Structure 1
């Protein structure tokens, strides 16, 4: 790919002769960026010369016109493609009844697959690259504080066309992630059909939990139950069977069989009749392997980021892999963790268990039983329509003015989710963001409500950072960790929405301990995710069985190094239960980053109001992470405020 140096030099000279030496820097940059991506199908060297001489802009009026054309047309293009994509995936993501084979065909038809290829074939991409420079991350961080908003928008505009991806490669990647997402979205366990060695059912009838979110949240809920330990131990065993792929295929998303996860025995539902049941047989790891191969096909088309790790960190997060890894290691090696673990053990009155990485007894909600919270929530929200109708009230409870609450609610639609919950933003202001949540028969449960408030935080960010932005190419936030941060800010206020008073000096201390422990837990998940992707790149011909073995070994290594010294047991594998390890393409590092950023935002909000500050921050748009943080809260991303607050909390 790319035009030869002789042809490039001839074009540079021709442009200097036509436009003058005052444009030398822009000419050299524009010709290089454009020539690097020019291929034989785009035309001859003479065609390239003619294109550059015709499309290079030199006066302010022309530059402004080109800039505005891109802003307006990209909004229309991406906005409508997003609407089409959402509709094509509707039947798989939204619970509208039976899924038919044709639904998978539509979901695999990715409207975005040809965007890169078409942009270059039409030469629109070349126009942007000829006139607007790409900037390195170092340049953004060093100079970004001095850049104007428009300069940032121009940088993001050029980045839209940084890489040239063939449509067949993009389509295959989309199909792979669609299948992985569908696998995860339909991975449910019917909890009433779990039995112990005495044949007892520990969970209520009708309780269907998705892995891993539902299982984890049910485990957390049992901390408020004096009889919850045996249920937590059973959930842990379910998780381990899933990770090890020993779970019987018949019990996944089925209520026709009873299952003892401790012995792995399966029975006809309601009987003691033992039935044979084959294990799931490494399907979980086949999906992960499929995502690896889909990403590997993209590598040649990202010469400056030739691996998923490079793309996730250099391009998507704009934070170096090394820096993020060190940040996560600083979390999991924090001296304060041993003292927090001792406090947890003291509060529980028993030795710690592996699943106590999910201890949530520091949260105010743990003072209330799950049943009490379920009753309150189900009365308020019997169905999706009731939750959507109540959005203005929810937002007012969170501090938004009546006008802003109505504005935000008008741009957020609520859908019944097949998965655990999801927030999908719009891509043009005339469209709406969508909040997906699960509401079973009998009304919303507290766990679902808590997730829905988390997703609402995403949605509010999505509306503000799109509808309130000054330039379209700046819409959004620096990376996914930042929208996770706002989601965590909302989620921590779920009791306020329910009108349950929890604020006190002690609760502030408890929040710091909870956030530090939660960040500790998810940092290990993120490290496991990062390390297993490195392993796949080092072992490109691995089989699903080999990948499973590597996953288990990697998880145990992370656990033994960073968790065994704190919790006291070796070789645990729970860190790899996270579903986004399978279908997220190394998404999980955004969670601990989100916790860290969320805490920094919370500290900044002390003495300030959430609503106006959140709007201000979201309107900053998609700056680089460190520049955004400095403009939003006055400091760069750091775990120090969280660690310091947790240390102080232990003294109270």
Structure 2
């Protein structure tokens, strides 16, 4: 746009009109407007002369008005989106054919485009500074809270992506989410060569979350190794897309994952009230649907690239804009854990406990966690009795929060602002974005009550929801609502989740349990760090091969997963060449989300160390969560006194191994 306007003359005229003291603001504001202005927007010089604000009182009033209105706009759009996804997200029976279409519609996709057309976005860019990540990292620690709120106000206008492009991305992600939400395996219908059924009738597990959690629970089962190896074979079939399409969410056929044969299930084995499905012995593989969904998300994201010059790829947007952590720094943190010499030492301890060489399923070894020594059936019985419905969990939230260290008044205040629903998928937390609306806790409640897997997820999601309440209702500027990025809300959720057994009345940790917690955190971080590297590498591959077909992407994911496994995991867990790291459903339904988990573990460990020194959890959790969406290192300095780092976890693991 600048070639159509005498920029120097425009700036000079403004300085003459408003004074030399305004030169820096004028220089920056004009450049910010011109970067986004289009010919169809009209006379830019006239707009700038009319809308540039110098009176501090008017500037303050404009800021306050925009902050209030954007809270309402974002909040109500969020509520509309929640309603459109109501039936696809919640376990309310079979979907109508119209439901996926409603879920794919994003009412907020036009908002930014409309605000630019209405010139509101240009008023913001003209009068408030649009900062770079480098500026926020270098200067942010000296900024006032108002300056931080201004930075978040302008950041919503750092791109001008057409509404139809945003809508296409929303449709692709919604379709991927629904695909994953209905990806269930009926475990009683997994059989071995002799026709044995190791899993109980009625057990329906979603991939990957429930499959992984079932595998963890099988360590306490005398027949656990057989069951674990069966689950691994299922996972590998899903990643390689050699899973028969007929067995997905179908309780009317039996499947041997090793021979990959399918046959009709005997009538007496079929679950009561089982959904109607075609009974067929067809072993034809799923037609690369998993990777078609991922490619659709990639192609939709790529269409936005030309409109975001500050971050011209989905990868750059994920790290530079969303996480505000450079990709290379994140990769270095993950690699530091993956290559740690502590890994074989922890593995040796695990082998001694298991009495055997480690195998690939030990990637998810839960034995350092107290609950890992309890049979899953015992924990299931306890949670089903306590939580027969989602409503029962909601009623118990004040007690849970009291047990976590919140005062009774604060526990009741929080519980009154969190709504609980039974989820169709594994579970999630959905934030509110305006005061007056409340976050939603979604977790899976099976027939007969909430099993331990559902409860464990519910406690995790409760951590998200408590953060969401504090960071919306108690933050000083609603423009700063939230935390720096998803890794931080994951970290705060991990803090809750780590106490799930204690909240069931199964004992508080002692010195031995604390040592085990450290080892568990280290092993979990090591596990998910490789998965995150796979996710990152897959997106780089897609950008390098933008015209790839689903089958080609499948082969690439398998190759990348095998490469990362062979480099970091095979020396410890064996089975060179397994594609197991490609199983995580987030890769399909939540684009580039997976790096947030290892980052979340590292952040959670730093928070836990601080809590052990300072405590109590309730007051400190609130203090941290109300600091808002500043940069990651600044948030961590406020929370714990140190920037984001892997060193605390590595030091503590070293000490735990010496004890």
TM-score by length of 2: 0.97
Residue 531 of structure 2: SS of its match in structure 1? helix
Q: CA deviation at 1:241?
A: 0.6
Matches within 5 A, 1:341-420: 341-420=347-426
Aligned residues: 648
Conserved 8 A contact 2:246-2:282: no
Q: What are the superposed Cα offsets for residues 523-572 of structure 1, whole Å, 9 maximum, x if unpaired?
A: 00000000011011001111111111111110111111111222233112
Measure how far apart 1:397 and its partner are.
Answer: 1.0
Partner residue of 2:34?
A: 35
Per the alignment, residue 453 of structure 2 pairs with 447
Q: 2:488·2:600 contact (CA, 8 Å) conserved in 1?
A: yes
Deviation at 1:431, TM superposition (A): 0.1
Match of 1:622 in 2: 629
Q: Secondary structure at the residue paired with 2:658?
A: coil
* Matched residue, 1:320: 326
Q: Deviations over 1:507-531 (max 9, x none)?
A: 1111111100000000000000000
What secondary structure, in the 3-state scheme, does the structure 2 residue paired with 1:477 have? coil
Conservation of the 8 A alpha-carbon contact between 2:253 and 2:280: no
1:324-335 equivalences under 5 Å are 324-335=330-341
> Contact 1:3–1:39 at 8 Å: present in 2 too?
no
Asked if 1:63 corresponds to 2:49, the answer is: no
CA shift in 2, pair 1:274/1:111, >3 Å: closer
2:189–2:255 CA contact under 8 A, matched in 1 = yes
Q: Deviations over 1:89-142 (max 9, x none)?
A: 111101112211221221122111101110100011001000111112121111
Q: 1:364, 1:502 within 8 Å by CA — same for their partners in 2?
A: no
Q: What is the CA distance between 1:278 and its match in structure 2?
A: 1.2
Cα distance in 1 for partners of 2:88, 2:2 equals 44
Determine the structure 2 residue equivalent to 1:436.
Answer: 442
Q: Superposed, which structure 2 residues align to 1:632-651 within 5 Å?
A: 632-651=639-658
Corresponding residue for residue 273 of structure 2: none
| Cα shift readout 1:272-295 (whole Å, capped 9, x = no counterpart) | 998232110211011111111011
SS at match of 1:436: strand
Is the Cα contact below 8 Å between 2:244 and 2:282 reproduced in 1? Answer: no
Q: Work out the CA distance in 1 between the residues paired with 2:281 and 2:167.
A: 41
1-structure distance, mates of 2:441, 2:280: 42
Shift of 1:160: 1.2
- Taking the aligned partners of 2:280 and 2:109, their CA distance within structure 1 comes to 48
The Cα shift of 1:267 comes to 1.1
CA contact (8 A) 2:320 2:326 kept: yes
Deviations 1:123-164 (A, max 9, x none): 110010001111121211111111111110011101011110
Contact persistence 1:265–1:274 (CA under 8 A):
no
Instruction: Tell me if structure 2 keeps the 8 A contact 1:413–1:432.
Output: yes
Secondary structure, counterpart of 2:641 in structure 1: coil
What is the TM-score normalised by the length of structure 1? 0.98
Partners of 1:353 and 1:370 in 2: how far apart? 21
Aligned to 1:191: 187
Is 1:253 equivalent to 2:252 in the alignment?
A: no
Decide whether aligned partners of structure 1 residues 239 and 11 sit closer, same or farther in structure 2, where only a CA change above 3 A counts: same
- Between 1:33-42 and 1:95-104, the stretch displaced more is 95-104
- Is 1:152 the counterpart of 2:148? The answer is yes
Post-superposition, which runs of at least 4 consecutive aligned residues in structure 1 deviate over 4 A? 271-274
Whether the aligned pair in 1 keeps the contact of 2:236 and 2:578 (CA below 8 Å) is no
SS state at 1:563 partner: helix
Aligned partners of 1:553, 1:97: CA distance in 2, in Å? Answer: 38
Instruction: Tell me if the contact between 1:195 and 1:258 (Cα under 8 Å) persists in the aligned partners.
Output: yes
Post-superposition offset of 1:641: 0.6
Matched, 1:540 2:543: no
Q: Distance in 2 between matches of 1:459 and 1:120?
A: 32
Once residues 312 and 249 of structure 2 are traced to their aligned partners in structure 1, the CA distance between those partners, rounded to angstroms, is 38
Unaligned runs of 5+ residues in structure 1 are none
Where do 5+ consecutive residues of structure 2 fail to align?
A: 270-278
CA distance in 1, matches of 2:105, 2:370: 45
CA distance in 2, matches of 1:190, 1:567: 28
1:510 aligns with 2:510: no
Instruction: Please name the residue that 1:265 is paired with.
Output: 261
CA RMSD of aligned residues (A): 1.2
